[in-house]
Structure 1
Amino acid sequence: MSAPILSEAEYDAITDAAAHWCMRLHADDCTDAERKVFAHWFNAHPQHAIEYEAMLEIWDISEQVTPVNPAPVIELKPQTPKPAPYRSRSRRHYAVAAAIAVLAIPLAGIIGWNQGWLPNAYDTYEAQDATRVVTMADGSRVELNLGTQLTYANYKDRRSVTLSKGEAFFEVSHDSTHPFVVSAGQGSVRVTGTRFNVWMYQEQVRVMLVEGSVQVTSDRTLPGTGYPLAPGMQASYKPGDSQPRISETRAGDTSLAWRNGKLIFNDMPLSQALPLINRYLPTPILLADNATGTIRLGGSYNTRDMSSLLASLPKVLPVFITQNQEGKPVINRRQSTSPSS
Structure 2
Amino acid sequence: MTDNSLSQAEYDAITDAAAHWCMRLHAVDCTAEERIAFEHWRDVHPLHAFEYEAMLEIWEVAGDLPRPEAVTSVARFKQAAPWRTVGIAAAVCALALPLAAYSGWNMGWLPNSYQHFEASDTVRQVTLSDGSQVELNLGSELIFSNYKDQRRVTLEKGEAFFSVSHDLAHPFVVRAADGRIRVTGTKFNVWMYEDQVRVNLIEGSVLVSSNDDLPGDGLRLGPAMQARYKHGDFTPQINQTYPNDNSLAWRSGKLVIDDLALNDALPLINRYLSKPVMVADHSTGTIRLGGIYNIKELNNLVASLPKVLPVYLTRNKEGNPVLNSIPQQTPKS
The aligned counterpart of 1:94 is 73
Find the aligned partners of 2:257 and 2:134 in 1 and give their Cα distance: 24
Q: Say whether the 8 Å CA contact 1:95–1:112 is kept in structure 2.
A: no
The alpha carbon displacement at 1:254 in A equals 1.0
The count of corresponding residues between Structure 1 and Structure 2 is 269
The alpha carbon displacement at 1:235 in A equals 0.7
The aligned counterpart of 2:249 is 257
Find the aligned partners of 1:120 and 1:143 in 2 and give their Cα distance: 23
% of aligned pairs identical? 55
Find the aligned partners of 2:275 and 2:96 in 1 and give their Cα distance: 46
The aligned counterpart of 1:135 is 127
Cα 1:176–1:330, aligned 2, differ >3 Å: closer, same or farther? same
Q: Deviations over 1:172-225 (max 9, x none)?
A: 011111000000001110000000000111111111111100000111111115
Matched, 1:114 2:118: no
The aligned counterpart of 1:221 is 213
Cα 1:328–1:194, aligned 2, differ >3 Å: closer, same or farther? same
How well do the aligned residues superpose, as a CA RMSD in angstroms?
2.8
Matched, 1:165 2:144: no
Find the aligned partners of 1:139 and 1:288 in 2 and give their Cα distance: 47
The aligned counterpart of 2:262 is 270
Q: Residue type of the partner of 1:109?
A: A
Cα 1:103–1:174, aligned 2, differ >3 Å: closer, same or farther? closer
Cα 1:211–1:328, aligned 2, differ >3 Å: closer, same or farther? same
Matched, 1:212 2:177: no
Q: Deviations over 1:223-270 (max 9, x none)?
A: 115110011111111111111111111342211101111111111111
- Of residues 177, 181, 186, the one that matches 1:185 is 177
Q: Say whether the 8 Å CA contact 1:167–1:199 is kept in structure 2.
A: yes
Find the aligned partners of 1:110 and 1:210 in 2 and give their Cα distance: 37
Q: Deviations over 1:2-52 (max 9, x none)?
A: xxxxxxxxxxxxxxxxxxxxx9xx69xxxxxxxxxxxxxxxxxxxxxxxx9
Find the aligned partners of 1:128 and 1:68 in 2 and give their Cα distance: 23
The alpha carbon displacement at 1:337 in A equals 2.4
Q: Say whether the 8 Å CA contact 1:206–1:234 is kept in structure 2.
A: yes
Find the aligned partners of 1:327 and 1:104 in 2 and give their Cα distance: 43
Q: Spell out structure 1 runs of 4+ moving beyond 3 A.
A: 66-72, 95-105, 338-341
Alignment partner of 1:223: what SS? coil
Cα 1:336–1:126, aligned 2, differ >3 Å: closer, same or farther? same
Alignment partner of 1:255: what SS? coil
The alpha carbon displacement at 1:96 in A equals 6.0
Alignment partner of 2:248: what SS? helix
Q: TM-score, normalised by structure 2?
A: 0.74
The aligned counterpart of 2:16 is none
The alpha carbon displacement at 1:271 in A equals 0.5
Q: Residue type of the partner of 2:241?
A: T
Find the aligned partners of 2:159 and 2:318 in 1 and give their Cα distance: 28
Alignment partner of 1:237: what SS? strand
Find the aligned partners of 2:328 and 2:320 in 1 and give their Cα distance: 25
Cα 1:100–1:93, aligned 2, differ >3 Å: closer, same or farther? farther
Find the aligned partners of 1:89 and 1:319 in 2 and give their Cα distance: 56
Find the aligned partners of 1:307 and 1:266 in 2 and give their Cα distance: 19
Q: Residue type of the partner of 1:153?
A: S
Q: TM-score, normalised by structure 1?
A: 0.72
Cα 1:333–1:104, aligned 2, differ >3 Å: closer, same or farther? closer
Q: Deviations over 1:81-127 (max 9, x none)?
A: xxxxxxx6553123569859846763443321111111110000000
Cα 1:177–1:103, aligned 2, differ >3 Å: closer, same or farther? closer
Name structure 1 gaps, 5 residues minimum.
1-22, 28-51, 57-65, 73-87
Cα 1:280–1:68, aligned 2, differ >3 Å: closer, same or farther? closer
Find the aligned partners of 2:331 and 2:127 in 1 and give their Cα distance: 61
Find the aligned partners of 1:292 and 1:90 in 2 and give their Cα distance: 55
Q: Residue type of the partner of 2:185?
A: G
